[in-house]
């Protein structure tokens, strides 16, 4: 069993780094903490919310938008070699990060591998924290990077990868999509059926519903495409807003996500929801019909709802 502590970062390529930096700071409201060579590092965590501050949670680097990686930190740093052996044993070749690659990620060590769909997953130990305070690029109310949606080309198979090989637990299903928790948040990872791998969306939590609604007006005023919301997910109880970011990436703000505490683990039962409108949004918001411009999930091959939610 690969014992993950939580999701740590995402790394995403972009052909236009300057534009991605502007959008991430001026629109999403993260903090640019470093620009080194062809990579930009962003912070999102308020100390008061998480009790710590991750050095960074998002990296944009000059490159192909399809070149993506998701970092998870291991619960026990001593596990790294065993995790590498377990991945290899189960048919997932690994690459141990070089010193330069570790420095790029601000971690002591990591292993890169792939989930069965081909998403690049990085298992890191001793990721760096920062002693300085989060200073947002705009007052969007962002409190921390919380979860991603991840494409799966075979949902049951990938669910096993995360829940049997790793320690993720199913919190709920909507259609074939499993929403998986790693720490206490309802989901750190949501697996969405698609025809190819990729990050389906990137979520940042904001402080409260006022931030969601203020951003809704702000984003519309700035001409940012709203993809879903404002609304509320009945599964996680989070109030949410989805919008389009650089290179077609979907971003989400949400607040009020349900937590499943350790003392509830033994008795918690995941629920199955149908893939229908009011399971996606109990307020009845519907996705923007222009989901064909959303490349990560090849929305034309799947239902519009699947392209943007959770
Ligand atoms: Fe989400």
Give distance in angstroms: CA of 211 to centre of ligand 1.
16
Cα separation, 256 vs 237, in Å, equals: 7
Give distance in angstroms: CA of 138 to centre of ligand 1.
21
Give distance in angstroms: CA of 13 to centre of ligand 1.
21
Give distance in angstroms: CA of 253 to centre of ligand 1.
8
Give distance in angstroms: CA of 97 to centre of ligand 1.
29
What is residue 51's predicted lDDT score, i.e. its pLDDT? 64
Confidence of residue 308 (pLDDT cuts 50, 70, 90): low
And the tokens for 298?
């090849």
Give distance in angstroms: CA of 50 to centre of ligand 1.
18
Q: How many domains does the chain have?
A: 2
Give distance in angstroms: CA of 261 to centre of ligand 1.
20
DSSP string, 55-70: S-SEEEEES-TT-EEE
Neighbouring C-alpha atoms within 13 Å toward the C-beta of 14: 24
> What's the predicted TM-score (pTM) here?
0.93
And the tokens for 297?
């999930």
Give distance in angstroms: CA of 32 to centre of ligand 1.
23
Give distance in angstroms: CA of 103 to centre of ligand 1.
29
Neighbours of 290 (CB within 10 A): 12
Give 298 or 105, the one with higher predicted confidence: 105
Please tell me whether residues 70 and 152 are part of one structural domain.
no
Please tell me whether residues 160 and 296 are part of one structural domain.
yes
The answer to whether residue 136 sits within a structural domain is no
Supply the range of the domain harboring residue 200. Answer: 142-308
Confidence of residue 132 (pLDDT cuts 50, 70, 90): confident
What is residue 220's predicted lDDT score, i.e. its pLDDT? 97
Give distance in angstroms: CA of 81 to centre of ligand 1.
32
Please tell me whether residues 71 and 156 are part of one structural domain.
no
What is residue 194's predicted lDDT score, i.e. its pLDDT? 94
Cα separation, 81 vs 79, in Å, equals: 6
Residues 16-44: pLDDT tens digits?
999 999 999 999 999 999 999 999 999 99
Residues 43-95: pLDDT tens digits?
998 876 666 689 999 999 999 999 999 999 999 999 999 999 999 999 999 99
Give distance in angstroms: CA of 310 to centre of ligand 1.
3
Contact 145, 44 (CB under 8 A): yes
DSSP H helical ranges for 3-139: 17-22, 47-50, 80-89, 99-105
Residues 210-262: pLDDT tens digits?
999 999 999 999 999 999 999 999 999 999 999 999 999 999 999 999 999 99
The answer to whether residue 132 sits within a structural domain is no
CATH number, domain containing residue 256: 3.10.180.10
Q: Any residues with CB less than 8 A from the CB of 89 and at least 6 apart, and which?
A: none
DSSP H helical ranges for 118-276: 155-160, 209-221
The answer to whether residue 19 sits within a structural domain is yes
């Amino acid at each position: 069993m690969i014992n993950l502590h939580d999701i740590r970062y995402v790394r995403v390529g972009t052909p236009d780094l300057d534009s991605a930096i502007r959008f991430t700071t001026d629109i999403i409201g993260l903090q640019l903490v470093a620009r080194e060579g062809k990579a930009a590092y962003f912070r999102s965590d308020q100390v008061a919310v998480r009790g710590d501050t991750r050095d960074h949670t998002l990296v944009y680097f000059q490159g192909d938008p399809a070149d993506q990686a998701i970092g998870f930190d291991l619960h026990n740093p001593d596990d790294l070699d065993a995790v590498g052996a377990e991945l290899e044993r189960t048919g997932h070749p690994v690459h141990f990060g070089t010193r330069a690659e570790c420095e790029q990620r601000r971690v002591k060590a990591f292993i890169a591998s792939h989930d069965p769909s081909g998403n690049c997953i990085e298992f890191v130990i001793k990721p760096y924290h920062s002693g300085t305070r989060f200073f947002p690029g705009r007052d969007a109310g962002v409190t921390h990077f919380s979860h991603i949606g991840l494409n799966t080309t075979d949902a049951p198979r990938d669910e096993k990868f995360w829940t049997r090989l790793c320690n993720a637990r199913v919190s709920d299903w909507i259609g074939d999509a499993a929403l998986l928790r790693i720490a206490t948040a309802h989901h750190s990872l949501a697996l969405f059926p698609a025809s190819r791998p990729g990050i389906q969306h990137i979520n940042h939590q904001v402080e409260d519903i006022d931030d969601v609604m203020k951003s809704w007006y702000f984003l519309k005023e700035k001409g940012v495409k709203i993809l879903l919301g404002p609304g509320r997910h009945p599964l996680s109880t989070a109030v949410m807003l989805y919008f389009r970011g650089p290179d077609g990436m979907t971003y989400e703000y949400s607040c009020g996500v349900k937590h499943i505490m350790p003392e509830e683990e033994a008795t918690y039962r995941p629920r199955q929801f149908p893939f229908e409108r009011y399971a996606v949004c109990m307020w009845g918001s519907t996705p923007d019909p222009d989901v064909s411009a959303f490349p990560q999930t090849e929305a034309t091959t799947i239902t519009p709802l699947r392209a943007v939610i959770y």
